[in-house]
Amino acid sequence: MVRAAVLPAVSAPLDVTSIVLPEPGPGQVRVRLAAAGVCHSDLSLSNGTLRQPVPAVLGHEGAGTVVGVGEGVTAVAPGDRVVLNWAPSCGECHFCARLSEPWLCARANEATTTPYASTRSGDGLYPGLSVAAFAEETIVPQRAVLPVPDGVPLEDAALLGCAVLTGYGAVHHSARVRAGESVVVHGVGGVGLATLQSARLAGAGQIIAVDVSPEKEELARAAGATDYVLASETTAKSVRALTEGGHGADVAVECVGRAATIRAAWDSTRRGGRVTVVGIGGKDERVSFSALEVFHFARTLRGCVYGDSDPARDVPLLAEHVRAGRLDLRALVTDRITLDGVSDAFEAMRAGRGGRALVVF
């Protein structure tokens, strides 16, 4: 029996209770969590924006220690420190094998549809985004664990599993920010803060942060923002006024997932600018553009899944940046909480407060 935060039904309150976790089966790994980040995607899973079989244990950004392995597991052994990968690539599908785009793996979330544990009454529990990190321990496929590189504290390593990979990848893989370019980041949550740090790491000349909360300005500037704009109906105009010649930013990264902020990100870039959408919006959120403006502004708009990252390649690279002091993982965390505090962290996200809440076990 282990304690976990269970989502009994879509939009229902989380229930922190004991669950029954079996021994790992063939190809599976049992991990004792050290920490798990509370991501906006978890909120999207809980409210039905993203599909998730229920009852489920959410949480997909985590790190811990291997405590058991099933038959055939060769990648890790008990005692190994690992970071969890919520979108493990199969290496065989069209996206992995032919296109070399593992972040779009067709089988990445297949574990989500199969119960991995059970309630005390015997009902099956599904793993949120295949990981189920809001629990003292979890069971995942062996391809969903990556070794934590030396020199990275285990609690901090949890952030590598989503926020940092996504923010870093949005800047370096998707938008491909070049030294000296101007970047505007819409949304200063955990991913937004990682994006700001990554823009600084890329050598961006001007880094503008946009958020609805004035309290986040200090966080944003500490992460690398040179300017801060409070989101409003005139956000795009305010951003353009800060840029050279009033033309707009070279690159915009949207970390909210709302039609209004996607549109604001588009409008805040220059002609020929690049817009990367990281935020996960609802299917009813509609963004519209006129045919004339698409031609005239010649901007590029693209989505970004998991930062277009290959965790096996990028986690060691990020760890090197951490060890060298170029990335500060602890600066992303605004609240360290217990498992019982996840519901309050969800409320903070709904209200637009804070950066990353980290569940510390």
Q: Do 28 and 138 share a structural domain?
A: yes
- What is residue 151's predicted lDDT score, i.e. its pLDDT? 87
Is residue 149 pLDDT above 90, yes or no?
no
- pLDDT at residue 150 tops 90: no
The pLDDT confidence band at residue 355, using thresholds 50, 70 and 90, is: confident
Cα 139 to chain centroid distance, Å, stands at: 20
Mean pLDDT of 148-169: 94
Per the CB < 8 A criterion, the answer to whether 268 and 239 are in contact is yes
Asked if pLDDT for residue 353 goes beyond 90, the answer is: no
85 shares a domain with 227? no
Is 320 within a domain? no
Compute the distance between CA of residue 256 and CA of residue 189 in angstroms, rounded to an integer.
Answer: 9
Same domain flag for 216 and 83: no
pLDDT of residue 189: 94
CA distances in angstroms from 49 to 62, 101, 184, 258, 321, listed in the order given: 22, 25, 26, 12, 34
- Global model pTM greater than 0.85: yes
Q: Tell me the H-state helices in 173-226.
A: 190-201, 217-223
Asked if residue 37 and residue 124 are part of one domain, the reply reads yes
Rounded CA separation 59/180 (Å): 37
Q: Average pLDDT for residues 125-140, to the nearest whole number? A: 97
Q: Is residue 270 part of a domain?
A: yes
Residues 268 and 136 in one domain: no
| Residue 353: inside a domain | yes
In this predicted model, what pLDDT tens digit does every residue of 320-333 receive, in sequence order?
999 999 999 999 99
Contact 19, 139 (CB under 8 A): no
Provide the pLDDT for residue 54.
96
Confidence of residue 316 (pLDDT cuts 50, 70, 90): very high
CATH of the domain at 180: 3.40.50.720
- The reported pLDDT for the residue numbered 215 is 93
- The pLDDT value recorded for residue 139 is 98
Full residue range of the structural domain in which residue 285 is found: 167-305
Residue 295 and residue 146 share a domain: no
Indicate the number of domains in the chain.
2
Q: 354 pLDDT band (50/70/90 cuts)?
A: confident
